[in-house]
A and B are shown apart, each in its own frame.
Chain A
Amino acid sequence: GESVGLHLPTLSVQEGDNSIINCAYSNSASDYFIWYKQESGKGPQFIIDIRSNMDKRQGQRVTVLLNKTVKHLSLQIAATQPGDSAVYFCAENSSGGSNYKLTFGKGTLLTVNP
């Protein structure tokens, strides 16, 4: 079956450091992956996405890397700030026939220390 998981449930970094959040997936047919940020009491907020025909995509202070060989996804946050503290989810977009659904992992709690 399909599943998305995270290697590290918690990550604590110092302000200004770079953060790396990892994610493993099992469905080799998945063709689209998304990273969401969820702050306490709020819904998931889109950060960045990547299609399976790419191995790297950059945004503002964030980079997503996709390694299809080992089914691994990572989110890199440069110069991490206190406002980056949140739970980060990777999600796998897969087709169930006539619809697409997101399958989420459990999430990684990122804590940024000032």
Chain B
Amino acid sequence: DAGVTQSPTHLIKTRGQQVTLRCSPISGHKSVSWYQQVLGQGPQFIFQYYEKEERGRGNFPDRFSARQFPNYSSELNVNALLLGDSALYLCASSLFAGGPADTQYFGPGTRLTVL
């Protein structure tokens, strides 16, 4: 079975632009979470979606938004890009909403560079 897939692999944008990142969860998984990983740091939680509804949001500005589709895939949108948005964006999927022992499995990430 395929794992979590993300596209694109790499992306270069300029300040002020908008970007859309995509994620397909493991087959059968109903929850997708997004994380931002700045170089040298651990991933930081951005959003969780479960059954197409937003279940949680981390400490990120409103420039960040996301949605989940009926097939459980997800998109992360970032508007008005800043240099500080340069990071690896990770998607993780889990069977349910992520309680104890509901392991989150990560995709390879999208490397976003903002110039």
**Are A93 and B98 interface neighbours, CB within 8 A?**
yes
Cα–Cα, bound, A93→B48 (Å): 13
Cα–Cα, bound, A45→B105 (Å): 7
Give the residue of B42, B48, B92, B107 whose beta carbon is less than 8 angstroms from that of A99. B48
Give the residue of B35, B50, B103, B108 whose beta carbon is less than 8 angstroms from that of A34. B103
CB distance from A67 to the nearest CB of B (A): 18
Give the residue of A89, A97, A101, A106 whose beta carbon is less than 8 angstroms from that of B58. A101
Give the residue of B4, B35, B97, B107 whose beta carbon is less than 8 angstroms from that of A100. B97
Contacts of B90 in A (CB 8 A): 43-44
**Are A100 and B98 interface neighbours, CB within 8 A?**
yes
Contacts of B48 in A (CB 8 A): 99-101
Given A101-B98, A106-B42, the answer on whether A96 and B56 have CB atoms closer than 8 Å is yes
Given A36-B106, A44-B43, A45-B106, the answer on whether A100 and B101 have CB atoms closer than 8 Å is no
Given A43-B107, A44-B106, A96-B56, the answer on whether A102 and B100 have CB atoms closer than 8 Å is no
Taken residue by residue from 34 to 70, chain A's Cβ proximity to chain B (1 for < 8 Å, 0 otherwise) reads as: 1010000111111001011000000000000000000
Contacts of A107 in B (CB 8 A): 41-42
B33 at the interface (CB under 8 A from A): yes
Interface class of chain A by DSSP: strand
A–B Cβ pairs within 8 angstroms, 22 of them: A4-B42, A32-B101, A34-B103, A43-B4, A43-B90, A43-B108, A45-B106, A46-B103, A46-B105, A89-B43, A93-B99, A95-B99, A96-B56, A98-B56, A99-B55, A100-B48, A100-B97, A102-B33, A102-B45, A102-B92, A103-B45, A106-B41
10 more CB-based (< 8 A) A-B contacts, given A46-B104, A102-B43, A102-B104: A34-B104, A43-B4, A43-B90, A45-B106, A52-B100, A98-B56, A100-B48, A101-B98, A102-B45, A104-B44
B residues contacting A by CB (< 8 A) are 4, 33, 35, 40-45, 48, 50, 55-56, 58, 90, 92, 97-109
